[in-house]
Structure formats: C-alpha cells, structure tokens
Chain A
Amino acid sequence: VPAVPPAPLGCDDPESLAIAEAAVNYINGHSHHGYKFALNRVEDIRVVPQGPNSDIIFIELDLLETKCPILSPTPLANCTVRSFVEHAVEGDCDVKLQKVDGTLSVLASKCHSHADSREDIRKVCPDCPLLAKMNNTEVLGAVSAALNDYNSKTTDSYLRLLEIGRAKIQYHPVHTVVAEFAVGATNCSAEEAKANVGACQLLPEDQSNFGFCTAVMVKHPSQDLQVDCQLYGHQVRAPHIPLLSRPGVTYAHPGQDTS
C-alpha cells in the first residue's frame, strides 16, 4: 500500500510562520538598501520531501516595509510597519529553503518591491502627501542642502550620501519636502572636508559606520530646514546579495556626493 502523503502545510501553521520568519530575517540580513521588511501574509508554501529528514520548501511571502532603515541595528520586532496612509511599500518574495534534520537554510530568494498605488491612497486620504520619485529635483535639492547643513555643524566625521530612502512633497497648506536618506561616515572630519572634500572617502568595510537622516525643508510661505542624523556605529553585516529590484535612482558609487 503506497504511503499516505503528509497533509499539505497550511500557510498559517506555526511551522509555516517559523519558515516565513527565517526567510524574512534572511532577506533583511542580506539587503543593504531601503528599509526592513516585516511579514504581512504567507501567500503560499510547498514542501517537497527530499528524503528522510530532508525537505525543500518553496514559500511565497507578502511583506510590508517598516520604518527601520535596513542598516539600523533595531530588532525587527521593534520596527513599526509603515502605515497605509504613509504610502506603504510592499515586497513580494519567493524564497527557496532547505530543512535538514530540523535546521532551516535559505537556498535562494527573489523579491520585488513596489509602492502602493496612488489611487488607493487618494481614496482613503485625499490630502495625504504621496511618495515622490527618487530623482525628483526638489527632493535631491533638499537632501543635498540638509546634508551640507548637517556637515557644516557637526564636529564628527564628514558624512556622505549613500542613498535616498523615501521622500514626500506637500504643497498645501505649507510647501514642504520631507526626505529620509542613508549616510556613511568618511575618513575626514567635517573641518577637514571643508578644505578638500574630494579626499573624503567612505570608511573601509571593517570600520564602516552608517547612519540615517531625516530632513524637513519648509519652502513656502517661510523657509526652514531641519535635519536629524543618527549614526549606528560599526556593524558587521552579511555580504550584500542584491535581492530587491529597486525603482528610482541607483548611485553608481556609494557615497557619491550630490552637492
């Protein structure tokens, strides 16, 4: 009598959620761009037995961006999912894992991230500002001005722009640009950079020190600029494996100064 195949794993089974958690941790640990993702739903899961105590698992995940930058040391459990009205970004990921003797390991992963549709947000919140394009000149100008302002006042290391995380532009009642961007410390002090900014390079991998800044530029009716940066200190990260397709602008050389 042929052996009865095991019942298919349900997407909400504890075992599936444990596999999903391992997959999400792998994705967050191997991406160096954007923000950390949190699980929103297990779309599908398939287990293919390979032999005694050995399975190959294919899992499809719906993820949502959190407010934690990818380089932030904050644990995922403490990262808040960006709300729907803040123009959430979703990640669709297909992950292949292997489970041998109860130990899970990721074999391959592919993700595609995309912002929610503007129409959906307009229905719920007509006046909410939406994500601006990364190469929007107002956004680039605001980020550049904010980073220059920060570097002109800091007594620490000179910071270089790594990438823009997200940005929004509000036109009414106040014309405001809000941008979040990742920065990296360089081998110059801010003072030394004033003399020769070209000589300021990102610190090497073993001394790297990344951070994240939030800038608010008010353009009309008054003019004001506020920028707040937080550096994370040196961290050892898994090697970067490009997993996410990223819309918008990619910088040929990390640390390329936008000024």
Chain B
Amino acid sequence: SVTKRAVAEAAQHDKVPRPVGFVPPPPPCPGKILHFDI
C-alpha cells in the first residue's frame, strides 16, 4: 500500500508541545499587502 509519510511527519511536528506564548512564524508566502486588497 502507498503511504504519504511526509505529511504524517509534519502532522507529528504540530503535536510537539509549544512553550507558552509561542507565536508560529508567518507563512513565507503570500507576502503582506502594501496598499489594499482588490
């Protein structure tokens, strides 16, 4: 059978306990809007 291990690994990371007040880094993309959203 075919398993998607890469995704599973990521999911496991999500279950790692985070220190209080931990703020995950912003996603690399898309970037912030400089003027307004159209």
Contact = CB atoms under 8 A, between A and B. Distances in A.
Interface of A: 8-13, 16, 38-45, 62, 64, 81, 84, 88, 90, 116, 120
18 contacts: A10-B26, A10-B28, A10-B31, A11-B30, A12-B32, A13-B28, A38-B34, A39-B34, A40-B36, A40-B38, A41-B32, A41-B33, A42-B30, A62-B30, A64-B36, A81-B35, A88-B38, A90-B38
A43 B38 contact: no
Given A40-B35, A64-B38, 10 more contacts: A12-B31, A16-B31, A38-B35, A39-B34, A40-B38, A41-B33, A41-B34, A43-B29, A44-B29, A64-B35
B6 to A, nearest CB: 14
Nearest to A13: B28
A1 to B, nearest CB: 19
A10 B27 CA distance: 8
Interface of B: 26, 28-36, 38
A41 B34 CA distance: 6
B2 to A, nearest CB: 24
B38 A45 contact: no
B3 to A, nearest CB: 22
A60 to B, nearest CB: 8
A254 B33 CA distance: 36
Contacts of B35: 38, 40, 64, 81
A140 B6 CA distance: 59
A39 B35 CA distance: 8
A120 B37 CA distance: 11
B29 A42 contact: yes
Contacts of B32: 12, 41
A10 B38 contact: no
A10 B36 contact: no
A116 B31 contact: no
A143 B18 CA distance: 64
A16 B28 CA distance: 10
Contacts of B33: 40-41, 62
A8 B28 CA distance: 8
